[in-house]
């Protein structure tokens, strides 16, 4: 399961979502501007206040790290 923590204005969040969709992955988006519990969950998991934070089955990726996403999702 993939969760991506975002805000509406974040360009890197948009890039990360497009990347996941291009590679055929479904994900749950949590907009931390609108979801206080989602924000608290993101900070608890990552220690970060910035977005995007991507949770791939418990593997936390900070920012839109294309290389790390490819490794975790086993994309060549």
- For the chain, how far is it from start to end, CA to CA, in angstroms? 20
pLDDT at site 30 = 98
pLDDT at site 29 = 98
pLDDT, tens digit (0-9, with 9 covering 90-100), for 33-46: 999 999 999 999 99
Entry pTM: 0.94
Q: Is the pLDDT of residue 76 over 90?
A: no
Mean pLDDT of 12-22: 97
Mean pLDDT of 43-57: 96
**How high does pLDDT run on average in the chain?**
96
Domain ranges of the chain: 50-76
The residue written with tokens 């290389």 in the block is: 67
Helix or strand run (H / E) with residue 42: helix 36-46
């Amino acid at each position: 399961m993939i969760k991506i923590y975002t805000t509406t204005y974040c360009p890197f969040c948009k890039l990360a979502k497009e990347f996941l969709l291009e590679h055929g992955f479904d994900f749950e988006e949590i907009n931390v501007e609108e979801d206080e519990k989602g924000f608290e969950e993101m900070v608890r998991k990552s220690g970060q206040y910035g977005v995007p934070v991507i949770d791939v089955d418990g593997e936390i990726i900070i920012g839109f790290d294309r290389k790390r996403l490819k490794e975790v999702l086993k994309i060549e």
